[in-house]
Structure 1
Amino acid sequence: MFRNKTFLTFLNACLAFLAVFIFFQIQQRDVVIKLNDHNLSMDAYQVRLKKNWTAAQIDQKLNDAKKIDDIQVHYRPRGSKKLTYFYGKGSFATPPMVSGNFFSKNDFVSDLSVAVVGQKLNQKLYKPKDQQYLKLNGRYVPVIGVMGEKISSNLDRQIFIAPSQKKLQQMKASQYDIMIDGDKNLQAAEIKAILPISEIQKSHSQQFVMTRWEWATTHWLELIGLLGIFAVMAIEIFLWRFSSHKFYTHILKAGAKVAQLALNEWASYSLFSGLGILAGTFIGCLTFSIQNYAALILYLISCFGAVSLLFKFFVKGGIKKSK
């Protein structure tokens, strides 16, 4: 059966399709991880200041800094998991929106606080006419947008507020957990050069090789699936070799040379295995929406290359034994 080229093509197409599905699941889970962490990236910093500055002073210093263009700051009141006071500069990452808009530059210099809330809080909003409001600490805050994704996450119950100028003057750094998130090139030294930092660390631990242990532990099932796909591709080699013993013996008795037969077998296996992988990948990408194809393509090429080399080594040895 495993010498059947149609079967080989079909099997590898199924494995490639499964690989696309697994990468889609990884992508979906990554979205949830980010949304669960207030839409902060894995490169966000948590900082403590030497001086008990106000949020207004911190925002002003960051706004005046010329070396940092794209940044967001989260002020989380200590003891509160659902409320975040937000400041943004330049092109910062915004959460997915169900309705309305996220904060704009004007919201950060306004005399009026405005809010963006998670979709689970949408039903609790006060909606007298065209404007909706969130009742917070006995006051009504205008809501300009509702956050959310089809996938359920902690973001669905979060409250983001762009505080008024008066509120910013009242917010003391010692009362908040301060998170600073920028692009991937944002360095701790750049933040230290702007703010009086007493302590700064990545919000997620960094590990050697697997740079984020949290990622590995969260995706352990998907990683096992990817290893399983490679294992099945490797097992195909032994099944091909086992089912080809009589064929090799017959061809060699007919005068075929070992080197030529091994080359023909390797070319045939690689061709139909590759066609199956291409077909399965194409169908999978049409079925599932993948945002980044780089990791998927690298994985499939690595699997194909490794299995092709293994096939060349083991089947050549099998042909020699048949002789």
Structure 2
Amino acid sequence: MKRFFVIDLLWVVMIVLAGWTWSWHDQNEYADRLAHFGLSEDGQVFKTDSAETLQAVAEKLTQSDVQNVQVQFQDGKRIYVWGNTSNLPLQDGQWFTQADLTSALPVAVVGQNQTATLVQGNNQQYLKQAGRFIPVIGTVGTHGNNALNDVTFFNASATDEAAPRLNAVTIIADGSGLAKAKTKLQAIFSATSDRNYSYQLTAGNSWWADNGPTILRCAGIGVLAVIIAGLTIWLMVPSSLLGMDRQLHAQLRRGLWTQTVTHTLFATVIGVTIDWWWLYLTNRVRLVIFAAGLWLGYLLIVRAGVSLRYRKGGTFDDIS
């Protein structure tokens, strides 16, 4: 019916706005992850008093058969890596291969702001460090002033005596195999303690600073859903129909209710489909749950509002 066209259009627009809200949230989460060099908040930070070399520790990690874990030994803007589980955005070249991460020959992956300092050789760029020329195999980076653009990654397996020792770096492990490997890692690092890696602790952001804007946007979309519900109630129960025969009312309302459910469900699917293919979303399940919640809440408001309006109009039957 033509009266539902406006509702359908508004509903699709609202679901697209919901998708934009979660896309914005996901992009901020991704930017945070890049600022933490690909590490998630599921990571673990290990503290140790061991003065062992990073090369020796990398060899122990390889021999221990730890899988699906990346370990970063962070020393300011220099990060020594073991474990090939990175998903950082490459601007050029490649990330470390498994062979690189067990090799005694040093190679590097640099942030895009470091490229101006590289030395160009025959079809190869080099990073000059402590009198050595280290081959650069790739460049990572992202837009803005993200910390990722300013760091340099090295394969920990090729560190020499001049590199910092284990107790002089920040040890962070992450990956899908972390829970299974945690006991092994504690032993390898001779860890005296460990804690969860937290963006709030490392970046100084509060929970509200990270999530508050998304919550406020979702609340605004919820208000819009209530407004659309009010418009639906007004369209479903025009004043000319109030006071009509009780049986005719029930039949008419059942038909309108069925149309309302099917129209908005179809509009929800269209909106989610647009979001799914058009917007950047790393967690689509969140969007689907939010959209389903909006739809169910809308139906409850419409059901209650229509019944109340009919009651005030002089007749009342449940919409069923």
TM-score (norm 1): 0.84
**Is 1:285 aligned to 2:276, yes or no?**
yes
Task: Choose the corresponding residue for 1:203, options 173, 197, 203.
Answer: 197
How do 1:143-222 residues align onto structure 2 when only pairs under 5 Å count? 143-150=136-143, 153-163=146-156, 165=158, 167=160, 171-183=164-176, 186=179, 188-189=182-183, 191-204=185-198, 217-222=209-214
- CA apart distance, 1:201: 0.3
2:85 alignment partner, SS class: coil
* 1:14 corresponds to: 13
Q: Which amino acid aligns with 1:321?
A: K
SS in structure 1 opposite 2:120? coil
**SS of equivalent residue, structure 2 residue 86:** coil
Match of 2:260 among 249, 256, 269: 269
- Residue 240 (structure 1) aligned with residue 235 (structure 2): no
Q: Does 1:60 align with 2:55?
A: no
- CA displacement, residues 165-200 of structure 1 (integer Å, 9 cap, x when unaligned): 451695421211111112166264453355422110
Maintained 8 Å contact 1:121/1:157: yes
Q: Provide the residue aligned with 2:218 in structure 1.
A: 226
Number of residue pairs matched by the alignment = 308
- Structure 1 equivalent of residue 123 of structure 2: 130
Task: Show structure 1 runs of 5+ residues with no match.
Answer: 207-212
Aligned to 1:74: 72
- Counterpart AA for 1:96: P
Report sequence identity in percent: 21
CA-CA distance at 1:273 after TM superposition: 2.0
Can you give the 5+ residue segments of structure 2 that lack an aligned partner in the other structure? Answer: 315-320
Q: What's the counterpart of residue 28 of structure 1?
A: 27
Q: C-alpha displacement at 1:224, in angstroms?
A: 1.6
Match of 1:306? Answer: 297
> 1:302 is aligned with what amino acid?
G
Q: State the SS of the aligned residue for 1:93.
A: coil
Q: Which amino acid in 2 is paired with 1:87? A: W
> Over residues 4-36 of structure 1, what are the superposed CA-to-partner deviations in whole Å (9 max), with x where a residue is unaligned?
311100101111111122222222212111110
Contact 1:32 1:151 in 2 (8 A): no
Structure 1 partner of 2:108: 115
Shift of 1:215: 6.0
Aligned to 1:45: 44
Preserved CA contact (<8 Å) 2:7 2:232:
no
Q: For residues 75-114 of structure 1, what are the structure 2 equivalents within 5 Å? A: 75-77=73-75, 80=76, 82-88=77-83, 91-114=84-107
* Structure-2 change in CA distance of 1:190 and 1:269 (3 Å): farther
Q: 1:314 deviation in Å? A: 2.7
